[in-house]
Structure 1
Amino acid sequence: MSMRMEFLTTGEAVQADWEELQPLFHKVVVRATHGEFTVDDIYRMAMDGSIVISLVREAGKIIMALAFEFRHYPQKLAVNYLAMGGKKSHEVMARFLKDFGVWAKNAGADWIEASCSQGMARIFAQHHFVTTYQLVRLDLNHKGEAS
């Protein structure tokens, strides 16, 4: 059965699929983020329209969830992937990345970007993403202290 991508453009649409989306985003937050956001943050930002959620269904079941935002630079506009979780990431990207890129370009974006783990960067590289910057951090909250 073929895959199909959907964009959740209303709060009602997010709510309708949230039960299936939440565990996919939970895995991303637990495995790949470093406290930048929670699953509840993803939900809240989707509901207030500051991010967009898209999903991929196969045989009626959600197999991939994506959360992204438009990031405004002084001279450029990017679509920034915040979270991408689920199954068949290679197949999903091979099937939908070109169309997603056309959609993003039509929306005014100059590129698609993501801050991600090295493993995810390797997956993105197989789909023509290039490393532009290295992200470094100095943690100002010592271990054991409240964040």
Structure 2
Amino acid sequence: MNMEDGLVEKQKDYIAYADVCFREFGDRVLHWTTFNEANIFALGGYDFGLSAPGRCSYPFGAVNCTKGDSTSEPYIVAHHLLLAHASTVRLYRKIYKAMQHGFVGINLFAYWYEPHTNTIEDVKATQRAHEFYVGW
């Protein structure tokens, strides 16, 4: 099984878990968060290698990081996190929203960047940085 196949299975498990939570706690919870700081999970665990599962590759990751591929894995993980989030929102809206009247969202860690100068290059670099970290 490759990494992407494993992530698809984990998505299904996550949606089943969310279904239990909605069913059991939805009468008391109005605001749901599918993932907290999902971008930090993808980057920290699959780009920098500083958090679980500690995957990364040179030159992006931590010292002595030999397992992983920092050029693709963070994007694959982020893609599957967003798919799981979307499926969870769809589940809530289809089955629970009419009864519970709640809301489902996702939390991202938001960095803020300012251009070093007012040159077009610095302004565009700042925009790219915002899109990369928060443009999910």
**Same fold per TM (> 0.5)?**
no
TM-score (norm 1): 0.28
Greater RCO (CA < 8 Å, at least 6 residues apart): 2
Which of the pair is proportionally richer in helix? 2
User: Which structure: larger Rg?
Assistant: 2
